[in-house]
């Protein structure tokens, strides 16, 4: 992993659109089935919308029916970090970009083999670098 990126709130606000800032820096969530990558089948690699770190590959993306892009594993174990999230009266595991601590979404243990995991990620937290 590259060196940790740390920016002030003002720096993030200047770099990101209000919607991306709300999701990634304020731990927001986009509406289900609204994100541009939910049904995307384009081959490529998904990167962090804040710092451009590689996070997920299209080959590990699957249709979970949840309304958000879902992946069964990140590009590598060091790409993301997790935190316990007990907000909204639920017990969940938050997924963060390991490089800049952007909120990406949540991970659940109801995904497909081989990992059994479902990384449920906000489209607004991602950019796609298409591959040929």
The tens digit of pLDDT for each residue in 32-48 reads: 999 999 999 999 999 99
Coil, strand, or helix at residue 74? Answer: coil
Of 14, 15, 30, the closest CA to residue 69 belongs to 30
pLDDT value at residue 111: 95
Does residue 69 sit within a domain?
yes
Q: 84: pLDDT confidence band, cut at 50, 70 and 90?
A: confident
Out of 48, 50, 51, 120, which one is annotated catalytic?
A: 120
DSSP 81: E
100 included as an active-site residue: no
pLDDT value at residue 113: 94
Sheet of strand 103-108, all strands in order from the earlier edge strand to the far edge: 61-62, 70-71, 118-121, 103-108, 92-97, 80-85
Q: Which residues contact 51 (CB under 8 A, 6 or more apart)?
A: 5, 97, 99, 100, 102
Domains identified in the chain, total number: 1
In this prediction, residues 5-10 reach a mean pLDDT of 95
Residue 104 reports pLDDT greater than 80: yes
Does residue 61 sit within a domain?
yes
Does residue 85 sit within a domain?
yes
The tens digit of pLDDT for each residue in 55-83 reads: 999 999 999 999 999 999 999 999 999 99
Structural domain containing residue 123? 9-130
CATH number of the domain enclosing 30: 2.170.150.20
Does residue 18 sit within a domain?
yes
DSSP 94: E
Quick count: other Cβ atoms within 10 Å of Cβ 48?
A: 25
């Amino acid at each position: 992993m590259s060196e940790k990126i740390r920016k002030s709130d003002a720096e993030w606000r200047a770099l990101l659109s209000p919607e991306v800032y709300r999701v990634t820096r304020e731990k927001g969530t986009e509406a289900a089935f609204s994100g541009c990558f939910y049904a995307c089948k384009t081959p490529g690699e998904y990167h962090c919308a804040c710092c451009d770190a590689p996070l997920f590959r299209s080959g590990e993306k699957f249709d979970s029916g949840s309304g958000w892009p879902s992946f069964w594993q990140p590009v590598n174990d060091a790409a993301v970090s997790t935190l316990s999230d007990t907000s909204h009266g639920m017990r969940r595991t938050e997924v963060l970009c390991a490089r800049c601590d952007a909120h990406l979404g949540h991970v659940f243990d109801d995904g497909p083999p081989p990992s059994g995991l479902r990384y449920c990620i906000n489209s607004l937290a991602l950019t796609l670098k298409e591959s040929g």
